[in-house]
Structure formats: C-alpha cells, structure tokens
Amino acid sequence: MQKNASFKGLTIPLLLLLPQLAITVVFFYWPASQAVWQSFLLQDAFGTSTEFVWFENYQLLFTDPGYLKAFWNTAIFSTFVCVLSLSIALLFAVMADRQIRGAEVYKTLLIWPYAVAPAIAGVLWIFMFDPSLGMLARGLGRLGIAWNPRLNGNDAMTLVILAATWKQISYNFLFFLAGLQSIPKSVIEAAVIDGARPWRRFWTIVFPLLSPTTFFLLVVNIVYVFFDTFGIIDTVTGGGPSGHTETLVYKVYSDGKGGSNLGGSAAQSVVLLIMVIGMTAIQFRFIERRVNY
Amino acid sequence: MAQVTLTNVKKVYPGGVEAVKGVSFDIPDGGFCVLVGPSGCGKSTLLRMVAGLETISAGEVSIGNRVVNQIEPADRDIAMVFQNYALYPHFSVYDNMAYGLRNLGTPKDEIDRRVKEAARILAIEPLLERRPKQLSGGQRQRVAMGRAIVRKPQVFLFDEPLSNLDAKLRVQMRVEIKKLQRALGVTSIYVTHDQVEAMTLSDKLVVMNGGQVEQIGLPSEVYKKPASRFVATFIGSPPMNILPGTIDGPGIVALGDAILEARDLRADLAAGARVEVGLRPEDIEIASEGEAGSLPFDIEFIEELGATQLFHGQLAGLPFIMQAATDTISAQPGRLWISVDPDRVHVFDPATGQRLGL
Ligand SMILES: Nc1ncnc2c1ncn2[C@@H]1O[C@H](COP(=O)(O)OP(=O)(O)OP(=O)(O)O)[C@@H](O)[C@H]1O
Ligand SMILES: [Mg+2]
C-alpha cells in the first residue's frame, strides 16, 4: 500500500508545512536562538550595559560548585524517578492486564493522578509528609524514623522523587497497558503451551515485545524529569533545603529569576538543551536499533 | 503417544454463554480427529479445553489415561498450531522452534539436533536465521508446525491452521499435514470449518452444532449416512437438496406426484407422515419421462466448473441443484426428468431433523 501522497512542484507541500513550521519557529527556534545569544552576553547588575563575552558565562558555570551540585542532584533525581515510575507502572499494567475483576475501576483510579496539576500534586505531598501536619510523616515518626524534609536534604530529595514518580506513573501505566494489550493473546498462549512459567514468560516474551513502548516511555520520561518536574519541586521544596533538591531546570529558573544573572541562566538552559538532545540522539541510535524486531 | 478421551465436557463462559454443552468422544492413539461445524459452534472452545487454555466447566478430559482437568497446559504434553501461527516475532525461526525445548532444560546439542531435524522434514533449513516477519504465510505455517513437532508431544492440536493461506497452498499443506501426522503417528485434533479439510484429513469426524455433537464417525459414514438434516446439508458441496414429502409405505416416500424408493428408510413409519427428503446434487441421474420414480426438474441456468457442471433450477416449486460431469449431459434450460438411486435417498424427521433411517 502506498503511504505517501506525492505532489508535483514545491508550492503545495510548502504551504501545507507552513503552519507547523511557523509554530516551531516562533515557539522553539526563536526562543532557543535567543537563549544561545543571551548566553554569550554579560549584563551589569542594573541591566544598563551589555557586553559580548564569548564563553565566559559557560566558564563561570562549570566552576560554580552550586551548578555541579545541581548536576549531581539531577542525576539522582532523574534516575530514581525514571526507574521507579517505569517499573511501578509496568507492574501495575501487568496486574491490570490480567483482567482481574474490577479492572475498570482500578484503571480509572490509576489514571487520575495524571489529571492533577503539578502544583496541586506538590501541595498534596507536602500535606502528607509535612513533619508537623502530615499523616504519613507522623506515621513515620511513630515508627521511630526521623523525618524532616525541611531540614534534611535527603528527606527532601526522597519527597520530590516520590511526588514526581507518583505524578508520572499514570502516564506510563496507560502506555504500558496499551502495549501489553497489543501483544497477541495467542503468542502468550503459545508460550504457555511451550512450557514457559509466568516469570520466564514475562522476561523472554512479554518484556521484549513491549520494548518499543518502553523505549518511547524512556525518552518521554527523561524529558519529563528534566523539564516538567519544575512545578513539583517548586511547590514541594522550592529547591531547598540549601539547594539539596535544586535540579538543572530549577536552577535555570532560580538564577534567572529577577534578572540577576540572565547570561548565566541562558548558558544553563543551553547546556540543558544540548544534554537532552544528546541523550535522545544516543537513545535513538543505540537502543532503538535493538528494539526493532 | 496417547489416546484422548472427552467425557461429558461442558463449557460455560463467565457471563453465561454455554459454548459446549456436554460432549463425549474418544480418539484412539495415533488417530486424526477433525472437529467441524459452523462458526460459533464451540470447536475452538473444545480444543482450548483440551489444551488447557480454558478451564473445563464440567466433565473430564483425559490424555493417555490421565485426567488433565487440573493440569497446566505445559504439563499436558501437547503442542498447538494456531490460526495466526502465533510465532514469537522477536525470535529467529531457530529460536522459535527451540524455545519449548529450552524451557524444558533440554541439553543444547539435543535441541540443535531436533530443531535441525524438524527443519529438514519441513524444508525450512535455509530460513532458520530469519525472523517471522521475513517469511511468507506458507513459511510461517511451516515454522508453526516445526515448533509443534520438535517437542515430540503426545497430542497435536490444530485450530484452523490453514485458513490464512491461499487456496492452492491450502491444498498442498493439507496433504503435508496428513503425511506428517501419519509418519509421526501423533494423536491429533484438528478444528476447521472447511468440510473438504474435514473429509480428507480425518479418520474420525466430529460434526458439531450449537455446542453439541451432531454426529461422530468415519468421514465416509458421515457423508453416506448423515445422522441429521444439519449434517446432511453441512457436509457435501454443493449442499444436499431438501424437499418436503410424505411416507407412502414401507421404504417408499412421495414427493408430490412422484414416488421414490428409499431403501434405508425405517419400516415403522405411518403412511401419510410428513418427512423431509434429501437428495445430493451429485447423486442425481437422468431418467426419462414416465419412468417409475422420475422427477421433473426445471433447469433455469447452468454453471460450468470445469470438470463438472451445476444445474440450478426448481423441483416441485423449490430451488434444486444437480451436479454432473461435464459433457455427460447437454442439457439446456428447460425440463429434465431425473431419478436417484434408492440407496441414496435420505429421509429426515421435519420436527427433530433426525435421520429416519436404519
Ligand atoms: N471468552 C469468551 N467469553 C464468552 N463467550 C465466548 C468466549 N469465547 C467464545 N465465546 C462464545 O462461545 C461460543 C463458541 O465459540 P468458539 O470460539 O468455540 O466457536 P468456533 O466454533 O471456534 O467458531 P469459529 O469457527 O468462528 O472459530 C460462541 O458463541 C462465542 O461467542
Ligand atoms: Mg474458532
């Protein structure tokens, strides 16, 4: 079957592409190029004079211990959120796929968190884990576990990881469930008859057949932890205590806030952009090749 | 090798659909049993209960004298070939065939030997490194067969394995399946709704309808003495003609003005009782006007099938089909007088559809 329509000449194709191109240019290329341009500039404290400084902003950035800390924070945060949200979602999806009774209710309940705005999700987690008010924090206290995300950096990191994971599970769950349901039932039945016990069946048949979904979700989740978790971090910890939960994207915001260090902030966003582009490219090159069967 | 016995097997799906309503039969060791019937009659359900993919609501299935109701599919020592082949898309052909043996912990060199042997039997040796998506439908079918035979199971189960192939390949694979089954001597159950496959493959034919068995027997028996009107019209192509008639005396039925002898007819039927008379299109012979037992057939049009011709028309005001070898009759549309061998006249009870024969 022919999938591509073909046009004579260039005018019609260009016209058809125009809206998409316009949107991409206005909302992506233009701000991105502005950021790149900004990252080469240095403004004085009052914003009155601007100087072109080449890579000085970048140099400053990579010698700033706060920035290197943010790198580390991001690595911890994103690894935990991706691994946790993907594996928990996969577990839930496998359970839902078993067609247990009440599966519909179960699915609906699992999907809800995705509809909750990040700020509200953040507030929810603050309440649950607030050292003086939160039910769960008090429960932990009763178990003899000291818990104070306002003072303890690790507690704060745990809290934002949990909140960000919780928020992303529904999304991953939906895709995993769709992925599981698109595996032909007879292939699984063939494996049952071929004597593969559930655990082995999962790792040798189901998981490999799910790999296109997993790969897609991995890309989406990395973009999510790098950029979209800003709202959660901002409401739950505000980057604190003392920068312990400040990730790269959060630092872009806190450094650029109030216009105090626009050049540095722009340089950070360029670094972030390059990292995400780089990681996605690597994923496509090396992983996608292996998931295509 | 093993015999398979089904005793009063029932299946009620959650939600109350009674898909199989008490089926009993057995297949001797090495036998080839074909389940045939219209769509939705419960053939696949029955097969899947033997496989262990569906729970058995009531009754008993045993394989080789062992009741398997509570036994996992993997431990029933069966292999199944699915309609869509159900190959593992991410495995090579080799790995597809080796998977079951690996799950059993068979030594590597033994696996290698058995996979290669199966590949040789099925002529798929050059394909062993390919992925399923790089194969044609017929090749996939062979791989699915290969996956079944490497395990050397006690029973083969087939669920419409040929229905995704084109007509020519279907005939070819049908012959190969039969040969392979003969050579390996493995007890087989084969589900199809294709009556040609059913007739040619089986040594035990089970005709099902609405979750029940209509008739069990050798294919030739089922063809010659269909137990019911349903079986009579289901087996045979084009289907048997059914005409209303009455009992005229022992072994005699009346079709309108014509009197037909039916040698097989039960003798205890009251004269005048209403019956249905079945005549197969291929059993019709040419007669002459006024001859005893001759019927007037008004031909409307003729279909040329190559070796045979189909004559469509009306008999006593009802649609009627007759089949004859090409060139034996040069009939034109119009009236033709026909007759049928008394051994080949089938009579059914109009109320129950049961055969009124001996
Ligand atoms: N999982 C199920 N739940 C409920 N009803 C079912 C289920 N599977 C099959 N049925 C019903 O059971 C009956 C028999 O189905 P089955 O698949 O055995 O038919 P079949 O003879 O194999 O038909 P076909 O030739 O179309 O494959 C049908 O009425 C079907 O709707
Ligand atoms: Mg079926």
CB contact under 8 A, A189 and B80: yes
- pLDDT score of B86 more than 80: yes
Q: A259 CA to chain B: closest CA distance, Å?
A: 54
Mutate to test the interface with B, among A100, A194, A200, A289 (most CBs of B within 10 A): A194
Average pLDDT over residues B101-108: 92
Residue keyed to tokens 């040929």: B162
SS3 B34: strand
Mean of per-residue pLDDT scores for chain B:
91
A25 touches chain B (CB under 8 A): no
CB contact under 8 A, B99 and A192: no
Strands B78-81 and B155-159: parallel
User: Would you say B268 and B232 are in contact if contact means Cβ atoms under 8 Å apart?
Assistant: no
How many Å apart are CA A178 and CA B54, to the nearest integer? 24
Find the closest chain B residue to A187 by CA distance: B86
pTM strictly above 0.90: no
Mean of per-residue pLDDT scores for chain A:
79
- pLDDT score of A134 more than 80: no
Find the closest chain A residue to B91 by CA distance: A293
Average pLDDT over residues B248-274: 86
Find the closest chain A residue to B71 by CA distance: A193
CB contact under 8 A, B89 and A205: no
How many Å apart are CA B4 and CA B51, to the nearest integer? 11
Q: A224 CA to chain B: closest CA distance, Å?
A: 30
How many Å apart are CA B50 and CA B188, to the nearest integer? 11
Rounded to the nearest angstrom, the distance between the alpha carbon of B44 and the centre of ligand 1 is: 7
Average pLDDT over residues B127-145: 91
- pLDDT score of B37 more than 70: yes
Q: Report the range out of A32-41, A141-150, B11-20 with the highest average pLDDT.
A: B11-20
Atom of ligand 1 lying closest to residue B193 CA:
25
Cis peptide before A198 (omega within 30 of 0): no
* pLDDT reported for residue A26: 83
- pLDDT score of A100 more than 60: no
Q: In terms of Cα–Cα distance, which of A91, A76, A81 is closest to A153?
A: A76
Share of chain B above pLDDT 70, in %: 99
How many Å apart are CA B187 and CA A82, to the nearest integer? 51
SS3 B36: strand
- pLDDT score of A1 more than 50: no
- pLDDT score of B316 more than 90: no
Q: Give the 3-state DSSP-derived string for A228-249, with helices as H, strands as E and coil as C.
A: HCHHHHHHHCCCCCCCCCCCHH
Burial class, B8, CB count within 10 angstroms (exposed 0-12 / middle 13-18 / buried 19+) = exposed
User: Would you say B6 and B24 are in contact if contact means Cβ atoms under 8 Å apart?
Assistant: yes
How many Å apart are CA B51 and CA A261, to the nearest integer? 71
Rounded to the nearest angstrom, the distance between the alpha carbon of B39 and the centre of ligand 2 is: 7
* pLDDT reported for residue B226: 94
pLDDT tens for each residue of A2-30:
556 666 778 888 888 888 888 888 888 88
SS3 B135: coil
Give the model's confidence band at A95: pLDDT under 50 very low, under 70 low, under 90 confident, else very high. confident
CB contact under 8 A, B74 and A197: yes
* pLDDT reported for residue B167: 86
